[in-house]
Amino acid sequence: MVLIIFFVLISPANALSFNFTSFNDSIRDLKYEGDASLVDSAIQLTENLPELTGHVTYLEPLHLWDETSGNLASFIINFTFSIDDQNNASHSDGIALYLAHLDYQIPDIQQGSGIGLASGNQTLNSTDNPFLAVEFDTFHNAWDEDDGDHVGIDISSLRSSQHTRWYSSLDGRITEAGISYNSSSKNLCVYFTGITEGIIIPQVLCLEIDLRNHLPEWVVVGFSAATGMFSEFHTIHSWSCNSYFSSLPLPPSSSSPPQPPSSSSPPPSQIPLRPPKNDRYKVLMIVGWSVAGLFLAILIVGVILFFIFKNRPNTIEGQNPVPGHYGGGGTEPGPPQNQFSEIENDTAINQNREAAGNAAATTQIARNLENGSATVQSRSIENEVDSAQSRIEIQNREETQIDSSSAQSTREIGVDSSSVRSSDIC
């Protein structure tokens, strides 16, 4: 449940979103202009013929920035394309992805040098049709600073504000490209592939720009391509776009474009460059991992307490362990220590009695020897001896009874100890 809530929280609402992995006749969201047409699940902007211009635009507009709040949207556009010059040494002119105002039209004068974006005196200063474009230029014009094929970021002019060499492949191979705009850093970056010595290499070009200063609040997104005296095939194979911004009512226009999709919850105001990790995303990531960490900590503590109480020794409340239960390191039980003291006292008493009896007999014999005759003395001695023996036998019987009582007590104590030990073990 936590993970489900977490992923729902970080799911942004899309102001504009579409994804075409290929193209067919059933797609009604695209507008073809000029020489553009659908060919074999792809959009062919121009054939390999001179003096052609082709456009394709997505009908739903992109809400680029909010005039009321001044907030700026972020977007990511990915596409794949190919250029095929049919092994001609001379070829032109290139392909471009552009953002322009809602009423933007294909130039009246079609010139390859303008890549279908502008022509005539508007080529280097398109005040009538302001645009932002990323060009993949395959022909060197007088205003181009790069001698060969290049990628440039154009702002209402075919003289690029930022450019870099492009290790192009003009034999019909697929080129991958992506354009990302970060509304926080105002960074526009172009990611694309090149080929050198048969190896595909990644390339990148970036420009810091505040699009609010160059484009209107609502814009269209599309592709253009053109040929001049020389020609080549220009083909779009896939196209996707995602922008992240709050939806506002669409201002009225002559073409009455479709309304942007509405959303019940406001999306984040921006997405940064690859991978997307805006401020809201970071906060929600921290919250999600914190909840998961707290749950894990509670689980660990619960397991530890379970094993502690499970292994706790069983004791009878209020009862002390039996002394000598495991005395001397052995396992045999022993009687309580105070019982040993009682047995020792009884033994000492018996010994004292026996000694007293012997002493009395000896004293009496001595007295008879002093006062009587030998015969009388002998009889007296015998009588005294018999009397002493009788007393000794009586004492021995008493001692035997005492010993028997002591042994019985010891056995009872041993039984009690064994019972206690058994109860402890159980």
Q: What global pTM score does this model have? A: 0.56
Any idea what DSSP says for residue 65? Answer: B
CA–CA dist 337, 342 (Å, integer): 9
Q: What domains appear along the chain, each with residue ranges and CATH number?
A: 21-245 (2.60.120.200)
Does residue 61 have a cis bond before it (omega within 30 degrees)?
no
Q: Record the tokens describing residue 426, joined without a space.
A: 């159980």
**pLDDT tens, N- to C-terminus, the chain (426 residues):** 433 333 333 334 447 999 999 999 999 999 999 999 999 999 999 999 999 999 999 999 999 999 999 999 999 999 999 999 999 888 888 999 999 999 988 887 767 778 888 876 667 777 777 899 999 999 887 766 777 899 999 999 888 999 999 999 999 999 999 999 999 999 999 999 999 999 999 999 999 999 999 999 999 999 999 998 899 999 999 999 999 975 444 444 444 444 443 333 333 333 333 434 444 444 455 656 677 778 788 888 888 888 787 776 654 444 444 444 444 444 444 444 454 455 555 555 555 555 555 555 555 545 554 555 444 444 555 565 566 666 667 766 766 665 565 555 555 544 444 444 444 443
Q: Locate tokens 């095929």: which residue?
A: 84
Q: Within 10 A of 299 (CB to CB), how many other CB atoms are there? A: 10
Contacts of 56 (CB under 8 A, 6+ apart): 30, 31, 32, 33, 36, 43, 45, 222, 223, 236
Sign of CA dihedral 65, 10, 189, 149: negative
